[in-house]
Amino acid sequence: MQAGVTVIDHPLVKSLLSRLRAADTSPGSFRRHLHEISRLMTFEATRGLGSREVQVQTPLSEATGAELVRPVVLVPILRAGLGMLNGILDILPDAQVGHIGMARDESTHRPATYYCNVPADIGAADVLLIDPMLATGHSSAGAAARLKEQGAKNLRFVCLVACPEGIAHFTGEHPDIPVVTAAIDDRLDENAYIVPGLGDAGDRYFGTP
Ligand code: URA
């Protein structure tokens, strides 16, 4: 996959995103729809992952098939990224899962990692960094930088809704990392919420502020 931003143009993704956006979607439906859209988005997010030919024996003869070259590591950014995890794991059940938590350092105003647990051999893997909302881009760009420090080389960032400000920041810091999203919305508001967006993805998924 080329570096740059891919917006998934698919009617099923668009209709699920519309249900996620609706303010009157119940917490249960929000969870189900986030799970489902994350499953669907995995096909685009994994497009072009390295694969090699393998020979398989069918009941009738040999066939040439394919297998992924590298293991896949999923890294949700805590906590909202967890909402997309299980849907992606439905499609990649053997993926390893790391976790990363980002907070704003009040003295430097820069994103600081408060938790990071990823496989030691992350450099040998294809890594999907996951967070539903690419808002300011500070936490996702900080998380990607931390994963690179840990040795990650083949990174992709998967989000649900992005905005121009977040894309500019993330791709400015990480021009090498492809971004896959279901939508690019209009703007950030003064509270750093994406407009029109869907509100706070973590709050809506977990039912707690
Ligand atoms: N995080 C969210 O969950 N929603 C936004 O709109 C922005 C950041």
The topology under which CATH files domain 5-50+68-206 is Rossmann fold (3.40.50)
For Cα atoms 105, 149, 48, give the angle at the middle one, nearest 5 degrees. Answer: 115
Distance 62 CA to ligand 1 centre (A): 50
Q: Partners of 99 in the beta sheet? A: 117
DSSP 59-100: SSSEEEEEEESS-EEEEEEETTTHHHHHHHHHH-TT-EE-EE
Clarify whether 104 is annotated catalytic.
Answer: yes
In a structure prediction context, what are the per-residue pLDDT tens digits for the chain, which is 209 residues long? 767 999 999 999 999 999 999 999 999 999 999 999 999 999 999 999 999 999 999 999 999 999 999 999 999 999 999 999 999 999 999 999 999 999 987 777 788 999 999 999 999 999 999 999 999 999 999 999 999 999 999 999 999 999 999 999 999 999 999 999 999 999 999 999 999 999 999 999 999 99
DSSP 138-149: HHHHHHHHHHHH
Atom of ligand 1 nearest to the CA of 204: 3
Helix (H) or strand (E) holding 19: helix 11-21
Question: Half-sphere exposure (CA, 13 Å, Cβ side) for 26?
Answer: 3
Q: Which residue ranges make up each domain of the chain? A: 5-50+68-206
